[in-house]
Chain A
Amino acid sequence: MNAPATPKKLIKGGLHDWEVVIGMEIHAQVTSRSKLFSGASTEFGGEPNDHVSLVDAAMPGMLPVINAECVAQAVRTGLGLKAQINHRSVFDRKNYFYPDLPQGYQISQYKDPIVGEGEVIVDLPDGTSITVGIERLHLEQDAGKSLHDQNPTQSFVDLNRSGVALMEIVSRPDLRSSEEARAYVTKLRTILRYLGTCDGDMEKGSLRADVNVSVRKPGDPLGTRCEIKNVNSIRFIGQAIETEARRQIAIIEDGGTISQETRLFDPAKGETRSMRSKEEAHDYRYFPDPDLLPLEFDQAYVDALAEGLPELPDAKKARFISDYGLSTYDAGVLIAERSSADYFEAVAKGRDGKAAANWVINELFGRLNKEGLTIETSPVSADQLGGIVDLIGEGTISGKIAKDLFEIVWSEGGDPRALVESRGMKQVTDTGAIEAAVDEIIAKNPDKVAQAKEKPTLLGWFVGQTMKATGGKANPAAVNVLLKSKLGIE
């Protein structure tokens, strides 16, 4: 993808505008019970070195045996990224020295990854979308964890993560702004969570990004890039890109050049800085791991996995738009999490889709956010919310009363229809009763009645007064019709 630069995405420099070019390597922890090459648990946390087998600790003579489920998860992810699935892939040793890497090498895939080229369609906040190329996805081992703040002279090493399966997902340099980068990671995370191949929990490190950033004058060849390692939140990814792009622009505009290097983003200081110690380790001396045969499977295996895939976000979004008549925006909000989409569908089934979407997005999500709850912990079930939507749809309650009803269901629970009966919340559609209220208001406000002939917008005031007089239970449509005829407004 080398679309012409969009002016609004460019960064203003002192001399001219700059285009930022971003590519990403996402490390996604594979959802599995045990590790990639050993039977130790992948559970987060745990006592130090408790989830460690002798393979993970690299004891002499131990041999890796691959976890079949991790292979399946990588293939599922490849299918979700519409990518080439390689029926034969090879595990290599990536050699480097670090205390939390007991083998002295990471088992990874270099020349022959399990998944090849694919793509992700990324929707941007302004309603447009971009296609981001996926270069490859490969399986590899995670390293252990070093703690540096326990002791002034020593680091503490815990190998619980050592050997946990990761998928490294490498994008093409197709991203042109921090906003696009954030949207890409968000979308990728959604896809992984739908597939159930990675939980996407960034706080626990299940999803980390290495971000490659370079800048250039629009139309020029690619500039020299710097890699910002291990950024662990979507917000920080955006900040790191902005910070790094500005740093590079300042250097080039001062007549300097960018040297290719690995950098670290410090969110507290709002800067990126060089990780010089890693520079020398760049010679990884990859070679095929002699302990492992090539990973081979046939198309029938891939087909069986494809068969079991859930409906993916893009397909679900398109279906919500066509089947329920939702706007692109509403459909995008609802499909962001599979649980939200499922909840919406339970509410919308056999009802008006747009009304259901309104209630789920505006009332329910608004309230959940305010209370710090999630769709899984919602006090209002899809059945209950559906009941409220039914009552509005059939004209039993007004939209305003429905909000009160929602509050009652939220805090007290119960069946919406029974609540409406027992608390007398039914809408008044009896024209006689509404007319009486209207007549009384007209009689009491002759000055406003006179004004209304000149200024039809005053109708709103009369509607408000009538609703007030009827305790919000009058049918607004009936009130409107009556008032218009009595006030002589067309």
Chain B
Amino acid sequence: MRALLRIGFVASMSVDAHTVRRIAHLARIAVSESEVAPLQDELNAILAFVEQLGAVDVSGIEPMTSVTPMVMKKRDDIVTEGGRARDVVFNAPETEDHYFLVPKVVE
């Protein structure tokens, strides 16, 4: 909730074509030129919908993080997992010696 509001404020509740291309690139989603305008409309419709929340005065109210009062569950510092490299890489398109193989990425 807080997240959406924050994005909303930053983008002033609307996106332009440039922002659509940029978000798509950051998410590594291929968007063709003809898709940009429709996507822009869709995103703006979503933002306008969310914008209605701005009508609620939440000043001085702590953001709600859980419906029931609870504290974050913690784990003891013991090793309980691992030793299953084969499973970990099982779905990967390409592997070698239990490494994932990806197109070359070098700085």
Q: Which residues of chain A have a CB within 8 Å of any CB of chain B?
A: 32-34, 38-41, 47-55, 57, 65-71, 95-99, 146-148, 150-159, 264, 275, 277-278, 280-281, 283, 285, 287-288, 290, 292-296
Contacts and interface: CB of A to CB of B under 8 A. Distances in A.
Contact of B7 (A53, A97, A287, A294): A287
Interface stretch (B32-40, B47-55, B98-106): B98-106
Contacts of A99: 100, 102, 105
A48 B96 CA distance: 10
B7 A50 contact: no
Nearest to B91: A59
Nearest to B92: A157
A41 B74 contact: no
15 contacts: A33-B79, A48-B98, A49-B100, A65-B73, A67-B77, A96-B26, A97-B26, A146-B102, A147-B99, A148-B106, A156-B100, A157-B101, A157-B102, A159-B88, A288-B65
Interface of B: 2-3, 6-7, 22, 25-28, 65-66, 70-85, 87-89, 94, 96-107
B75 A50 contact: no
Q: Which of B77, B78, B87, B88 has the most CB of A within 10 A?
A: B77
Given A49-B98, A148-B105, A155-B103, A69 B85 contact: no
Contact of A49 (B88, B102, B104): B88
Contacts of B96: 156
Given A70-B77, A275-B107, A293-B72, A157 B7 contact: no
Contact of A155 (B25, B65, B104): B104
Contacts of B71: 293, 296
Contacts of B88: 49, 52, 54, 57, 159
Given A53-B81, A157-B101, A159-B88, 18 more contacts: A32-B77, A34-B80, A39-B80, A41-B82, A47-B85, A48-B97, A50-B98, A52-B88, A69-B77, A99-B100, A146-B105, A148-B105, A148-B106, A153-B103, A153-B104, A155-B106, A157-B100, A290-B3
Nearest to B86: A49
Contacts of B99: 48-49, 147, 150, 156-158
B105 A98 contact: yes
A99 B99 CA distance: 12
A291 to B, nearest CB: 10
A34 B103 contact: no
A61 B6 CA distance: 26
A294 B65 contact: yes
Contacts of A39: 75, 78-82
A419 B77 CA distance: 49
The listed residue with most B CB atoms (<10 A of its CB), out of A55, A57, A69, A153, is A57
B72 A155 contact: no
B9 to A, nearest CB: 12
B105 A293 contact: no
Contacts of A96: 26
Nearest to B89: A49
B70 A148 contact: no
A295 B77 CA distance: 17
Which 9 A-B pairs rank lowest in CB-CB distance, beginning with the nearest? Answer: A39-B80, A69-B77, A287-B3, A53-B81, A293-B72, A49-B85, A157-B100, A68-B74, A156-B99
Nearest to A148: B106
B75 A65 contact: yes
Given A41-B82, A51-B82, A67 B94 contact: no
Q: Which of B65, B80, B82, B104: most chain A Cβ within 10 A?
A: B82
A52 B77 contact: no
A285 B79 contact: no
A79 to B, nearest CB: 19
B98 A53 contact: no
